[in-house]
Amino acid sequence: MAYATQTATARARSRSQAARARLTAYGFLAPAGVLVLFFFFIPMILILFLSITNLATINFTTDVLKMATSQDPRYIVWGANFERMFADEYAPKILFNTFFYVLFTLLLFNVGLGLVISLLTTHINRRAGFFFRALWILPRITSPAVYILMWKRIVASSPFGILNQFNELLGRPEANYFQEDPWVFIIMLNGFIGASFGMIIFTSAIESIPKDLLNASLVDGSSLLQRVRYVILPLLRWPLLFVITYQTLSLLTSFEYILLFNQGGAASNNEVWSLAAYNRALNTYFANAQWGYGSAFAVVLVVIGVVMATVYMRVFRFSELVAEPKIEVL
Amino acid sequence: MAASARASRIGLPPNVEELEYRRAATGELVSQAVFSALVVLLFFQVGVILFKVLEPLIRAAPGLLGSDLEIEETLTRAIASALTLLAPFVAYGTCGAKMRGLATFDRRRALRVALLAGALVYGIATMGQWVFQVGPFAEKPSLEMSFEQTADGVLITGIVEGGTADEAGLKVGDLIIAIGRAPTDLAGLKERIALSAFESKIGLRIVRDGEEELVPVEVVPVVEVGLAPLIGGLALALFIAGVAVVWPGGLTPYVLMVVIMVPLLIGYLWLVVASFSYRTEGLLPVGAAGEFGGFTLRNWEFLTREGTSSDPSIWRITLNTLVVASLMMVLVLLVSSMAGYALSRMNFPGRRSFLSLTLILHGFPAVTLLIAIFFVLRNIGKVPVVGDYFGFNTRGGIALVMVAFELPLGVWLMKGFFDNIPWDMERSALIDGASRWRTFWQILLPQIRPGILALGIFAFISGWGAYLIPQTYSIGTKTATLAVFISQRTNETAPMNWNELAAIGLFQMIPVFIIFVFAQEYLLNIYAGGTKGGT
Is the CB of residue A242 less than 8 Å away from at least one CB of chain B? no
Report the pLDDT averaged over residues B152-162: 81
Distances (CA, A) of B100 to A123, A221, B33, B43: 20, 17, 11, 22
Helices (DSSP H) in B133-208: which residue ranges? 164-168, 186-195
Select the more confidently predicted residue: A66 or B334: B334
Which residues in B lie closer than 8 A to residue A298 (C-beta atoms)?
368-372
Phi and psi at residue A62, to the nearest 5°:
-105, 0
B194 to chain A: closest CA residue: A173
B262 to chain A: closest CA residue: A192
Residue B212 DSSP SS3 = strand
Between CA A228 and CA A203 the distance in angstroms is 13
* Equal fold, B140-222 vs B314-528: no
Domain positions in chain B are 2-137, 140-222, 250-296, 314-528
Per-residue DSSP letter, A286: G
Residue A316 DSSP SS3 = coil
E strands, B219-356, in order: 220-222, 279-281, 284-286
Residue B145 has pLDDT above 70, yes or no: yes
Rounded to a whole number, what is the distance in Å from the CA of A5 to chain B's nearest CA?
27
Predicted local confidence at residue B531, as pLDDT? 39
Burial of B102 (0-12, 13-18, 19+ CB in 10 A): buried
- Which of A58-72, B95-109, B171-185, B392-406 is least confident? A58-72
Establish, for the pair of chains A and B, how many residue pairs have beta carbons separated by less than 8 Å: 379
Per-residue DSSP letter, B292: B
Do A309 and B364 lie within an 8 Å CB cutoff?
yes
The H or E element that residue B183 is part of is strand B182-183
Omega before residue A159 within 30° of 0, cis = yes
Phi and psi at residue B287, to the nearest 5°:
-85, -175
Between CA A259 and CA A262 the distance in angstroms is 6
Do A194 and B359 lie within an 8 Å CB cutoff?
no
Between CA A204 and CA A191 the distance in angstroms is 20
Beta-bridge mates of residue A76: A53
Q: CB–CB of B456/B515 below 8 Å? A: no
The H or E element that residue A318 is part of is helix A318-321
Report the pLDDT averaged over residues A145-155: 88
Write down the mean pLDDT value for chain A.
82
Is the CB of residue A192 less than 8 Å away from at least one CB of chain B? yes
pLDDT-derived band at A323, boundaries 50, 70, 90: low
Angle in degrees, CA A70, A74, A79, rounded to 5: 95
E strands, A102-257, in order: none
- Which of A185-194, B334-343, B425-434, B490-499 is least confident? B490-499
Do B490 and A192 lie within an 8 Å CB cutoff?
no
Beta-bridge mates of residue B159: B145
Per-residue DSSP letter, B213: E
Considering CB atoms only, which of B254, B283, B467 is closest to A143?
A: B467
Tell how far CA A96 is from the center of its chain. 19
Predicted local confidence at residue A151, as pLDDT? 92
Question: Under 8 Å CB-to-CB from A229, ≥6 apart: which residues?
Answer: none
Residue B396 DSSP SS3 = helix
Q: CB–CB of B282/B290 below 8 Å? A: no
The CATH number of B140-222, from 3.40.640.10, 1.10.10.10, 2.30.42.10, 3.40.50.300, is: 2.30.42.10
Kindly write down the DSSP assignment for every residue of B330-393, as one continuous string.
HHHHHHHHHHHHHHHH---TTHHHHHHHHHHHHHS-GGGGHHHHHHHHHHHTTSTTHHHHHSTT
How many CB atoms within 10 Å of residue B297?
10
Considering CB atoms only, which of B62, B253, B341 is closest to A120?
A: B253
Do A144 and B403 lie within an 8 Å CB cutoff?
no
- Which of A148-157, B1-10, B267-276, B451-460 is least confident? B1-10
pLDDT-derived band at B535, boundaries 50, 70, 90: very low
- pLDDT tens column, A215-245: 888 888 887 788 888 888 888 888 888 788 8
- Which of A193-202, A272-281, A298-307, B171-180 is least confident? B171-180
Do B71 and A252 lie within an 8 Å CB cutoff?
no
Of B145, B175, B172, nearest to B160 (Cα)? B145
Parallel, antiparallel, or unpaired: how do β-strands B201-208 and B211-218 relate? antiparallel
Q: CB–CB of A110/A191 below 8 Å? A: yes
Do A146 and B382 lie within an 8 Å CB cutoff?
no
Per-residue DSSP letter, B532: S
Of B150, B151, B152, B170, nearest to B161 (Cα)? B170
Between CA A222 and CA A243 the distance in angstroms is 28
Residue B24 DSSP SS3 = coil
Write down the mean pLDDT value for chain B.
81
Residue A88 DSSP SS3 = coil
Rounded to a whole number, what is the distance in Å from the CA of A7 to chain B's nearest CA?
23
CATH number of B314-528: 1.10.3720.10
Considering CB atoms only, which of B73, B361, B512 is closest to A40?
A: B361
Q: CB–CB of B271/A147 below 8 Å? A: no
Which residues in B lie closer than 8 A to residue A326 (C-beta atoms)?
419, 423
Beta-bridge mates of residue B176: B154, B206
Predicted local confidence at residue A329, as pLDDT? 41
Rounded to a whole number, what is the distance in Å from the CA of A166 to chain B's nearest CA?
8
Between CA B202 and CA B396 the distance in angstroms is 62
- pLDDT tens column, B75-115: 888 888 888 888 888 889 888 888 888 888 888 888 888 89
Between CA A53 and CA A76 the distance in angstroms is 4
- pLDDT tens column, B28-72: 888 888 998 899 888 888 888 888 888 888 877 777 777 777 777
Residues 199-238 of A with CB under 8 A from B: 200-201, 204
Beta-bridge mates of residue B217: B202
Which residues in B lie closer than 8 A to residue A139 (C-beta atoms)?
264
How many CB atoms within 10 Å of residue B406?
25
Tell how far CA A320 is from the center of its chain. 23
- pLDDT tens column, A17-53: 888 888 888 999 999 999 999 899 899 988 888 888 8
The amino acid occupying position B476 is G
- In chain A, the domains with their CATH numbers are 20-87+292-330 (no CATH), 98-289 (1.10.3720.10)
